[in-house]
């Protein structure tokens, strides 16, 4: 199993280490929460990409290689799907299947109990959501992506992740309401 230690960084930075790590975590949370409030698909995906990149750094600085790799896979997926208008292969069913396979495979390799179904489902919905061309569909599938991460946080009792996941779920609902299609009234 891969592992590494951050003891040298903790010792070198002292109390500044915690300020630095949690500062990165706050930035990651903010980027994840505001992402769904953007109007355009590419901006939503890029905000999530930068959020995932911050989560990678956050988890690496915490010594959590498994979570860092999972977030890195998500960041790569987001980078690919942000270019799907220019790279035709990025929109192919093969690419979508590849990312679902990678995220599912990684989740299954680290599966320990029944509650580990939530990250697996969240990963699948993340791929489906970010592969959509339409902002409305992206937000609709993202709701389930965020909801499954929220359920993961509840059942595994992760208070910081719970706050992030709850706010992200609320943000998707707010964005769905904010950007809903207005029905035009028939004028006789």
Q: For 12-42, give the DSSP string.
A: HHTHHHHHHHHHHHHHHHHHHHHGGGSSSHH
pLDDT in tens, 21-40: 888 888 988 998 899 899 89
Residue of higher predicted confidence among 119 and 93: 93
Residue 183 has what pLDDT?
Answer: 57
Q: Return the closest-CA partner of residue 155 out of 106, 125, 118.
A: 118
CB 136 within 8 A of CB 181: yes
Query: Which pTM does this prediction carry?
Result: 0.78
Place of tokens 């009234």: 185
Whether the pLDDT of residue 70 is over 90: the answer is: no
Q: Which of 18-22, 98-102, 136-140 has the lowest mean pLDDT?
A: 18-22
Whether the pLDDT of residue 188 is over 70: the answer is: no
Query: Element (H or E) spanning 56, and its range?
Result: helix 41-62
Residue 153 has what pLDDT?
Answer: 83
């Amino acid at each position: 199993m891969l592992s590494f230690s951050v003891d040298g960084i903790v010792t070198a930075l002292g109390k500044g280490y915690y300020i630095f790590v949690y500062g990165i975590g706050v930035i990651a949370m903010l980027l994840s929460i505001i992402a769904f409030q953007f109007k355009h698909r590419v901006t939503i995906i890029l905000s999530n990409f930068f959020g995932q990149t911050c989560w990678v750094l956050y988890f690496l600085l915490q010594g959590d290689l498994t979570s860092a790799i999972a977030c890195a896979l998500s960041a790569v997926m987001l980078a690919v799907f942000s270019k799907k208008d220019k790279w035709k292969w990025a929109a192919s069913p093969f690419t979508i299947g590849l990312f679902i396979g990678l995220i599912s495979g990684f989740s299954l390799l680290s599966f320990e109990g029944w509650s580990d179904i939530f990250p697996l489902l969240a990963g699948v919905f993340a791929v489906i959501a970010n592969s959509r061309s339409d902002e409305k569909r992206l937000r609709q599938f993202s709701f389930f992506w965020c909801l499954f991460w929220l359920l993961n946080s509840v059942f595994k009792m992760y208070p910081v992740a719970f706050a992030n996941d709850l706010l992200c779920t609320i943000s998707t609902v707010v964005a769905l309401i904010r950007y809903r299609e207005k029905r035009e009234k028939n004028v006789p």
